[in-house]
Amino acid sequence: MKKTIPVVGMACAACAVNVERKLSSLRGIQGASVSLPARSALVDYDPTVISLETMKKNINDIGYDLVIDTGQSVETIEHNAYRILKHKTILSWILAILLMSISMKWLTLGSTNITNQVSLLLCIADLWFCGRQFYVTAWKQLVHASANMDTLVALSTAISFLFSTYNTFWGEQTWGARGIEWHTYFDAAVMIITFVLTGRLLEEKARESTASSIRQLMGMESKTARIVEQDESGNEVIREVPVSTISPGDVLEVRPGEKVPVDGEVMSAESFMTADAAYVDESMITGEPTPAEKKKGSSVLAGTIPSQGKFRMKARQIGADTALAHIIQMVQQAQSSKAPVQRIIDKVSLVFVPVVAVLALFTFILWWIIGGSGDLPQAILSAVAVLVIACPCAMGLATPTALMVGIGKAAQQQVLIKDATALEELKNVDVLVTDKTGTLTIPNQNIDFTKADDLSLEKRETMKPHAREAMKILQDMGIEVYMMSGDKEEAARYWAEKAGITHYQSKVLPLDKENLVRKLQAEGKKVAMVGDGINDTQALALADVSIAMGKGTDVAMDVAQVTLMGDDLRHIPDAILLSKKTVKMVWENLFWAFIYNIVCIPLAAGVLYLFGIDFQITPMWASALMAFSSISVVLNSLRLKFVK
């Protein structure tokens, strides 16, 4: 079974890779995909072999945590973690400002010894109260032969602290006696912690916006329901109860403006317009703006809202079985999935931290060889700056953040994308193959087959609203459209012309649709197939991108990578354009993330000194730039939310 599990404690791409690698190594887990921006793991596992508790224990061992079966919601846990992070950041800034005031001599404490010793105490307070988690996580990573961003932060701050502590007590005897100028760098250690915490705080704040689509969907779920029961005297009683207590078969009452609590079947309905019907706004699920009429026997979905009238319903699907719950689960899984390019980035992130550690060591040795013992302080500072500035966060966030926002944006437009690969592939589509009945057209209800007039084309089907407009938009984008229909030639030609489609085939069987897809692919085309029935599944399974109609069969939706919840086919070109913009955003993010490292690592190492230029990025500014790089990637990705 597949399950999306929230992960707590991840801060960089290497964290996500380490969690994914650990989960994948466990017996009973067929596959795991961990998303840093979503802070979740999509795990495919056999519950008869491995339990969630076992997974949690193994992940705890490497410094992270899985949120399973807890009395607190994920939102509450994340809110508490954010609050603690905020308090740590504020305290760290207070200590940093105090320490900077002392080191810059804005506050004078007398002798150099007293100044250094007070700085030492302030630094210890900051490392213990604000930065302790970096060392705890780094140690757990070391024990399991892994490394992440916390490793770099722990190394750089520990080196700065230890070197400064040595200088506080023995600096004059060691360096001063030899005529070498010496300093302490407690402010550098504290500012590294402060900037990293600030970056994480801003990143978490920005991440809330990337996850807004999930929160909106979850906000559609009702927390309570009105259950209709009988008391001991046989009198009817209506009680408000938590939705979690509802069972299939319970009778519920839903009033105007209230959310339908579960999926079910209408037993009776009434409104001021009619005595036997109510009208329900289903736009949040289907995208249809007109309220749907609901009479006895009609199905209603959780999250929809009666706009006129009230009704009583019998609960059918509850909890995780409702259509809304399935939609939420699909979006969560899609946001946790990985595009092919992300797999490459993950491999880079896995070796990035050790490589950076080697670069820092190389920088230290080179400075020491060139400058001798007199340049030892400079060698240490240069190595620390390299450790700090080369954080893989921006690189790791580049792809998943953009994909997460793109998939969420699509969900808000009633387009459900199952995985990141589908979103990436949509941009390459140059041919769309579409079914006719149920996709382009709607079969008419209540046909009298004894009357010849009711068998005319116009009577049997109606063109879906905006279908012709959607086909024109696709063709204007340079995408060829083929219509495939099992109907007779006359009907197929009529509806193809009505939809503005030049290429069509009539009297086709499921195999014919599959063969057309194969033929187009053999010509080098990237084919998207859109259909709604069992007869479309062969072609859907073969297509480069498969699109199902939300009102179609469950089989078609299971096979498809993309599902349109409503009947508005204009969402297909919308999804293709969103794919193009999302992938463009991914490459923009990756470009800047790599450029950042390519430019900043040499500057932190002090390479400009080789050309006679007295400039170097100090550890303090390295931490600020590192934090800014991660935030900029997230903020850049959020621009997708405003794409029309």
Catalytic residue numbers read 435
| Distance between CA atoms of residues 343 and 339, nearest Å | 7
Angle at CA of residue 305, ends 302 and 308, nearest 5°: 140
Residues 6+ positions from 524 with CB-CB distance below 8 Å: none
**To which residue do tokens 């964290």 refer?**
15
| Distance between CA atoms of residues 462 and 356, nearest Å | 63
Helix, coil or strand: residue 7: strand
Residue among 319, 193, 179 nearest 248 (CA): 319
Query: Going along 178-304, which residue ranges are E strands?
Result: 224-230, 236-242, 251-254, 263-270, 278-281, 292-294, 299-300
Query: For the chain, percent helix, then strand, then coil, each to nearest 5?
Result: 55, 15, 25
E strand or H helix that includes residue 135: helix 132-143
Q: Which two tokens stand for residue 185?
A: 């760098």
Task: List phi, psi (to 5°) of 6.
Answer: -65, 140
Burial of 208 (0-12, 13-18, 19+ CB in 10 A): exposed
CB 332 within 8 A of CB 40: yes
Radius of gyration of the chain (CA): 31
CA dihedral 577, 578, 581, 587 (to 10 degrees): -130
Task: State the amino acid at position 181 in one-letter form.
Answer: E
**To which residue do tokens 């007295």 refer?**
614
Task: List phi, psi (to 5°) of 275.
Answer: -85, -10
Beta bridge partners of 435: 484
Task: State the amino acid at position 322 in one-letter form.
Answer: T
Task: List phi, psi (to 5°) of 253.
Answer: -115, 135
| Distance between CA atoms of residues 162 and 602, nearest Å | 25
Residue among 332, 321, 299, 219 nearest 551 (CA): 299
**To which residue do tokens 């008391």 refer?**
231
Beta bridge partners of 269: 311
Q: Which two tokens stand for residue 380?
A: 């240490």
Residues 6+ positions from 558 with CB-CB distance below 8 Å: none
End-to-end, the C-alpha distance of the chain in Å comes to: 36
| Distance between CA atoms of residues 271 and 279, nearest Å | 8
